[in-house]
Amino acid sequence: MKKRIYYNFLVLILLSALLLVAFVCVVFYVTGRDREIRTLKTDTMVTVIEPDGTVLLDNNGKANEAEDYLAGEEFAEALRSGRGEAVRNSGAGGETYYYAVRQADGSILRVAKTLGNLNDVFLTVIPAVILVTAAVLIFARYMAKALTTRIIKPLTNIDLEGDNEPVYDELIPYVRKIDRQKQELANTVADLKRRADTIGAITRHMKEGLILISPSGGVLMANNSAVQIFGDQIYSEADERNILHIYRDIAFQQCVKICLSGTAQEIRLERDGKVFDVFLNPVRGEGAEAELSGGVILFFDITEKQAAENQRKEFSANVSHELKTPLTTISALAEMMGNGMAKAADIKEFAEKITDQCRRLINIIEGVIRLSSFDEGKVEAELCEFNLYELAASVAGVLRPKAEERSVAVEITGDRFNIYASRYMIDEMLYNLIENAIKYNKEKGGVTVRLVREGGFCKISVSDTGIGIPPEDQPHVFERFYRADKSRSKKTGGAGLGLSIVKHIAALHGGKIELHSVPDEGTTITCRIPIQAPGSRL
């Protein structure tokens, strides 16, 4: 590249110099030639002089004017050697050139010519020289621009995205360095993009709602969970929407303002039936004196946790209430028997009542322990293959005495097939469903257990012709300690835990439970569970 630049501009300089010299020479030649021709016509004097100084001929007609020809150097030199010349001032700042030649007859032929003033020559030539110089400079500029473009073109055509072959040897280290830095930059950009995509994927699919806000409260980013909380108006890539305009809860807005002043905040909010713990943290740059650059808002959905806490509180209250009733009865009867207030004939009746209440206590405690085991995932069961029809018939046989007491007929219908599940749990499920169908049935009513195989599932339906469940109570029948007919439950000793246990058993087998009930006509509860239980939590 260095040599190319050197040789190109050397050629340009030489070419420009040659052009300039050539044009100047032409100008001087033309100007001199014209001047010589003009002076030859007007300023040339021819004189023929005898050796004694007599003028024989003068083309200017000045032979009569006195002139000392003999004193001229050119005249004396011509007499002596045959030729002579001299230059003398002719006045007015000019000079005259004299040239003398001796003729064959001895006379002297002298030619004289007045030399022009050099200032006149320069004044005549300078305009032409200036024009020629300007033309050469314009040509040099055009050629310099063309040469520069030609030299620079390989540099401007370097592809920063692709591979390059160095045109100049001097550029090889730079091209290699550019390619190396380009590769490093590409790797860095790819790594940053990969990290950004990873962070974006994590934040988008976070269960918690995440909102990033600017120092003015504008929403810079909101993940999918935050959009689900506030809707699509929470975030737009086209414009920056202010969080204070989107959610106008006074307590929340106050926390946002305090957060953007530099202090972290926590608040619990309810929105659309959900409960959130909200954490607001200011974001600063590095250093203690760094300016506030925005804030981070995290929404933790604690609806289920809150519901679980409420359920635990309600559960504790219900357990306390359910245990208090039989314990109060047992305590009162025992106190009467201990104080001798009971008659001898009543002691047996009191003892039977105490036994019934103790049995009720045991049932409640066992149900509570069972549900606690389900909640904590501590249920242990062995899976095995067994015939569902035979198990249902066995459970119906165990409950036959209770059915006969109320003149209720129990019928098992449907397919005979094997399932792979927890025999103990399915036994408990059938027992609770059939027992409830007997308890809440009408006198001389009926209970039908239908077993149907549908694809990979078995459908267990227990129907009765009993009192039914009011529509307002149906969504709650699977809740703990919930009893639609509390008066009937007290008579039958029910604690409202059976159907809750049935629901847990179905869920643990990967199934679900459905309820259909019409008041005064009867109730049907259907459990759908896989024939081969999934190897999940069992």
Q: In terms of C-beta density within 10 A (0-12 exposed, 13-18 middle, 19 or more buried), how is residue 472 classed?
A: exposed
What's the whole-number mean pLDDT along residues 7-30? 74
CATH fold of the domain at 205-295: Beta-Lactamase (3.30.450)
Please give the Cα distance from 62 to 167 (Å, whole number).
Answer: 80
Stated length of the chain? 538
Give residue 447's pLDDT: 94
Give residue 401's pLDDT: 87
DSSP state of 295: E
317 CB-side CA count, 13 A:
7
Residue 488: is its pLDDT beyond 50?
no
pLDDT tens digit sequence for 408-464: 999 999 989 999 988 888 888 898 899 889 988 988 899 999 999 988 889 999 999
Reading the block at residue 80, the tokens are 């002596």
In contact, 278 and 269? CB cutoff 8 Å: yes
Reading the block at residue 461, the tokens are 């339906």
Please give the Cα distance from 469 to 75 (Å, whole number).
Answer: 161
Q: Which residues does 446 contact at the CB level (< 8 Å), separation at least 6?
A: 408, 409, 410, 411, 464, 465
Reading the block at residue 511, the tokens are 């199934």
**What dotted CATH number matches 383-530?**
3.30.565.10
Please give the Cα distance from 439 to 418 (Å, whole number).
Answer: 29
What's the whole-number mean pLDDT along residues 484-488? 50
Instruction: Give, rounded to a whole angstrom, the gap between the first and last alpha carbons of the chain.
Output: 80
Tell me the pLDDT band of 277, cut-offs 50, 70 and 90: very high
Task: Choose from 333-342, 448-457, 525-534 the range with maximum mean pLDDT.
Answer: 448-457
Residue 92: is its pLDDT beyond 70?
no
Beta strands 446-454; 409-414: pairing state = parallel
Judge if pTM exceeds 0.95: no
Q: Select the more confidently predicted residue: 447 or 364.
A: 447
32-46, 84-98, 421-435: segment of lowest average pLDDT = 32-46
Reading the block at residue 505, the tokens are 């058993």
In terms of DSSP H, where are the helices of 384-460?
Answer: 388-398, 400-405, 423-439
Delimit the domains of the chain by residue range. Answer: 2-124, 205-295, 306-376, 383-530
Residue 339: is its pLDDT beyond 70?
yes
Q: Select the more confidently predicted residue: 483 or 283.
A: 283
Please give the Cα distance from 113 to 452 (Å, whole number).
Answer: 145
What's the whole-number mean pLDDT along residues 297-324? 72
Residue 307: is its pLDDT beyond 80?
no
Please give the Cα distance from 161 to 155 (Å, whole number).
Answer: 14
pLDDT tens digit sequence for 215-256: 888 888 888 888 888 887 777 766 778 888 888 889 999 999
In contact, 434 and 410? CB cutoff 8 Å: yes
Residue 42: is its pLDDT beyond 80?
no
**Mean of per-residue pLDDT scores for the chain:** 79
Q: Select the more confidently predicted residue: 434 or 329.
A: 434
DSSP letters for 6-37: HHHHHHHHHHHHHHHHHHHHHHHHHHHHHHHH
Architecture of domain 2-124: 2-Layer Sandwich (3.30)
Tell me the pLDDT band of 537, cut-offs 50, 70 and 90: very low
In contact, 95 and 115? CB cutoff 8 Å: yes
Reading the block at residue 180, the tokens are 């190396």
Give residue 370's pLDDT: 62
Beta strand spans in 193-248 (E): 209-213, 219-222
pLDDT tens digit sequence for 77-86: 988 898 999 9
Same fold, 2-124 and 205-295: yes
What's the whole-number mean pLDDT along residues 346-363? 73
In contact, 55 and 49? CB cutoff 8 Å: yes
pLDDT tens digit sequence for 153-205: 776 776 656 665 656 676 677 777 877 888 888 889 889 888 888 877 888 77
Give residue 97's pLDDT: 83
Residue 265: is its pLDDT beyond 90?
yes
Q: Give the three-class secondary structure for 103.
A: coil
pLDDT tens digit sequence for 102-143: 998 888 888 888 766 556 666 777 777 788 778 878 887 887
Q: Give the three-class secondary structure for 298.
A: strand
CATH number for 306-376: choose from 1.10.510.10, 3.40.50.11540, 1.20.1440.120, 1.10.287.130. 1.10.287.130
Residue 2 CB neighbours (<10 A): 9
Reading the block at residue 388, the tokens are 């569902």
Tell me the pLDDT band of 66, cut-offs 50, 70 and 90: very low
Percent of the chain scoring above 70 in pLDDT: 75
What's the whole-number mean pLDDT along residues 85-101? 79
Reading the block at residue 101, the tokens are 């030649």
